[in-house]
Amino acid sequence: MKVTVVGTGYVGLVVGACLAETGNDVICADVDTKKIEGLNQDILPIYEPGLEEYVHRNRVAGRLAFTTDIPAAIAAADVIFIAVGTPPDEDGSADLKHVLAVADQIGKHAAREVVVVTKSTVPVGTAEKVAEAIRPHAKVPFHMCSNPEFLKEGAAVDDFMKPDRVVVGVASDVARERMGELYAPFVRTGKPIIFMDIPSAEMTKYAANAMLATRISFMNEIANLCERVGANVDLVRKGIGSDARIGPAFLFPGPGYGGSCFPKDVKALMRTSEERGAPMGVLKAVEAANERQKHRLFEKVSAAFGGALRGKRIALWGLAFKANTDDMRESPALVLIDELLAAGATVVAHDPAAMHETQRRIGDRITYAPSNYAAAEGADALVIVTDWNEYRFPDFARVKAALKTPVLIDGRNLYDPAKMQGLGFTYRSIGRGGE
């Protein structure tokens, strides 16, 4: 099948590479000339495990092409995925200007009967707006489809190739048949393609992300209470996660969620709910809890030094909002850095993938270390911000020798409190009250 993906960001690039991997002829189009030039040399604009290999293999095989000629890419397609950004507007709603601009181009340049797929995360009603933008110019039949993505950053390729389910909102047999054919290779093990109406598909994406954000904020608040009552959140998590009605996923406490999806999607769903007269108070509480949680690491660092942080050197392990990505959007590390610098501390940080992106965002306000051990050298405290695998089993003797004072604040609960105290660290984590 001939597929065009408009937008080569996180979603568009994964979609294009994975669909090419199953034999489709895929064109990824974007207005960003520099990005397209890079992709044609296998230089990816994002870090995502496994993606570079897919891009290279399929580009060399001729199944995956990159272009800035959006009209030509649209004219060649049987299926067009709209995967451009939907940044939050000032009022929290999703900004659809890029989506609707692509729709206008589709109307003007589609040359054959085509299925138009909204892949970007968009509010309920967006597919109809896209259709309205296409209709005035359309010279060929088109069929709308909503196909929300459920890709975890750091595991996006696996999520696309081996999905839990594929959600497809359609309003015609043509769209249903083409999307069923396109996704058939990915569900051979029996995972479902769930066909539904378009508004339900649009709502499913927001509902899923809002539910996951709620679980994270709930567990963070439970963890904070555990600290006050002397309970261990790790044991509480196991106790409730073994309940089949709850399950174990997304119950790990930490410094708050970030990234490109949860913060934006919670805001957008809240905005939609208010506009439609069905306000969601639970999401306001989720958002407020998450903002509070982003200050917890600073509070723990400050408490370790009696509030006297001026002149202290603080090492951070991890900058990205989660492991296996270089995404710094809404990262808790940015909040911690701002607070530490405002308190008069200096910051030295290491991250396997996100240091370049951090430097692009905040410049040289902090020092960037070539390794995690180098970051710890001479520091008054070490803070674990992101749970990269390489931080899970460090040489603790080396870490302790590098630190000026053996203070370790574990924002991801990577280490055993009793072991750390036995090694001579002043150790604090999230929600484990016996420390």
Residue 365: phi, psi to the nearest 5? -70, -25
- Both tokens of residue 374? 């180098």
- Both tokens of residue 184? 């058939």
- Both tokens of residue 361? 């965002």
Strands 142-146 and 166-170: antiparallel
Give the residue numbers marked as catalytic: 261
Least Cα distance to 414 among 381, 380, 378, 390 occurs for: 390
The whole-angstrom separation of Cα 391 and Cα 376 is: 12
The whole-angstrom separation of Cα 50 and Cα 18 is: 11
Least Cα distance to 28 among 67, 1, 58, 86 occurs for: 67
- Both tokens of residue 21? 């991997």
Is residue 373 within a helix (H) or strand (E), and if so which, with residue range? helix 372-376
Q: Is the dihedral of CA 304, 308, 313, 317 positive or negative?
A: positive
Q: Is the dihedral of CA 402, 405, 411, 417 positive or negative?
A: positive
The whole-angstrom separation of Cα 384 and Cα 343 is: 19
- Decide if 146 contacts 168 (C-beta within 8 A): yes
